[in-house]
């Protein structure tokens, strides 16, 4: 296990790091019994592979895995570790879970909450990507009407809070999202909020989450949507709002609360993408006007003016400096066009 500079513990396990003859033992003994504290076995007639990343924050552990078809069991021997946390499990393939004498088969993309304090068995009959969010019971229990009643109750993948949660967790690969201990605590509380809302938060917790975790996740999803549509000339606040089921004014308020505006965010991202294209040797023969149009500008003169104001040099000069191998410390990383998760 390694620790990053911002004290987010990060570990990775991959069978590719072991000789083929040692992979089964590594899978069952090293990863299963020592890391997962469970019995883990591949299903017959399936090739063996596993690539797992665990990111640990205060009050939250995120496990992302790509694994062979497998059987997982946490029984009396493993329960002696005293772990009484809760785990929200999601996968890319249908799977079966047994806990509290209840057998549940849930569909790909659905969520299922399980308890680490009780015996549990899981079978995933095909290779799948698995996402597990581990949270302490005391962090989640006050937010949900009955956390024990929520265990082994599937959450449909169409649930808005679950979709926001998956999008939000996926975006945490960005370093800025976890840059400081304060942000790490905010991220963990946002995830707790989203899980609670997906399960059925209390009225007070739902109101708190709406202005905290749900807000942060929706803003992050909207920013990702904007980035995906930067090259669209008709990228408007109204179009984005429609895709996310909110009003234009709600979108504008989200960006205002983040210290910017919708238009400023779009402009900053388009200019940053244009800069990356201009300094990329593969695009050296592409006219500046073509670059402008490719990132969504409809007016080349406006592009030239805003680019120069942002980077202190016209696009043609930035490209020429890149050709000569001169780096005048002019780049998109020096201009902050995004912000950390909303608090």
Number of structural domains (the chain) is 2
Expressed as residue numbers, the domain containing 308 is 264-328
The answer to whether position 255 is within a domain reads no
The answer to whether position 295 is within a domain reads yes
Decide if pLDDT at 166 tops 60: yes
268 and 151 within one domain:
no
Q: pLDDT band at residue 341, thresholds of 50, 70 and 90? A: very low
Q: Which two tokens stand for residue 316?
A: 């043609």
E strand residue ranges, 4-116: 9-14, 39-42, 50-57, 60-67, 70-74, 86-91, 95-99, 102-106, 111-115
The answer to whether position 146 is within a domain reads yes
E strand residue ranges, 125-191: 128-135
Classify residue 21 by burial, with Cβ atoms within 10 Å: 0-12, 13-18, 19+: exposed
Residue 13, domain CATH = 2.60.120.10
Beta bridge partners of 99: 102, 120
The answer to whether position 16 is within a domain reads yes
Beta bridge partners of 104: 97
Distance in angstroms (rounded) separating the CA atoms of residues 112 and 127 = 18
**Contact, 197 vs 207, CB < 8 A?**
no
Give 278-316 as a DSSP string. Answer: HT-GGGTTS-HHHHHHHTT-S-HHHHHHHHHHHHSS-HH
Position 330 scores a pLDDT of 47
136 and 15 within one domain:
yes
The answer to whether position 88 is within a domain reads yes
* Among candidate residues 131, 156, 181, the one where a domain is terminated: 156
Neighbours of 66 (CB within 10 A): 15
The answer to whether position 169 is within a domain reads no
The answer to whether position 175 is within a domain reads no
* Among candidate residues 156, 186, 206, the one where a domain is terminated: 156
Position 28 scores a pLDDT of 87
275 and 145 within one domain:
no
* Among candidate residues 124, 156, 188, the one where a domain is terminated: 156
Decide if pLDDT at 101 tops 80: yes
The answer to whether position 210 is within a domain reads no
Q: Which tens digits make up the pLDDT trace of 24-62?
A: 998 888 888 887 888 988 898 888 899 999 988 999 999
């Amino acid at each position: 296990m390694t620790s990053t500079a911002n004290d987010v513990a990060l570990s990775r396990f991959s069978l590719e790091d072991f000789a083929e003859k040692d992979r089964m033992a590594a899978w069952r003994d090293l990863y299963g019994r020592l890391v997962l504290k469970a019995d883990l076995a591949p299903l017959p007639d399936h090739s063996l592979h596993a690539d797992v990343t665990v990111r640990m924050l205060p009050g939250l552990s995120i496990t992302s895995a790509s694994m062979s078809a497998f059987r997982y069991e946490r029984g009396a021997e493993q329960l002696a570790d005293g772990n009484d946390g809760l785990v929200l499990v999601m996968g890319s393939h249908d799977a079966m879970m047994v806990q509290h004498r209840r057998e549940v088969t849930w569909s790909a993309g659905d969520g299922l909450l399980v308890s680490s304090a009780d015996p549990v068995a899981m079978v995933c009959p095909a290779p799948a990507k698995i996402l597990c969010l581990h949270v302490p019971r005391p962090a989640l229990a006050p937010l949900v009407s009955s956390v024990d009643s929520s265990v082994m109750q599937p959450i449909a993948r169409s649930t808005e809070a679950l979709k926001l949660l998956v999008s939000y967790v996926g975006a945490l690969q960005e370093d800025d999202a976890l840059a400081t201990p304060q942000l790490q605590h905010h991220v963990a509380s946002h995830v707790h909020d989203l899980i609670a809302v997906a399960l059925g938060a209390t009225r007070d917790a739902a109101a708190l989450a709406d202005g905290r975790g749900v807000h942060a996740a929706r803003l992050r999803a909207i920013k990702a949507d904007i980035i995906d549509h930067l090259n669209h000339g008709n990228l408007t606040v109204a179009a984005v709002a429609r895709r996310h089921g909110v009003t234009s004014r709600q979108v504008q308020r989200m960006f205002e609360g983040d210290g910017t505006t919708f238009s400023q965010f779009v402009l900053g991202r388009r200019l940053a993408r244009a800069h990356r294209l201009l300094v990329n040797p593969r695009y050296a023969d592409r006219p500046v006007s073509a670059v402008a149009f490719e990132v969504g500008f409809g007016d080349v003169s406006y592009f030239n003016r805003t680019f120069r104001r942002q980077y202190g040099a016209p696009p043609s000069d930035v490209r020429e400096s890149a050709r000569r191998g001169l780096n005048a410390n002019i780049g998109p990383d020096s201009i902050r066009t995004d912000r950390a998760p909303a608090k």
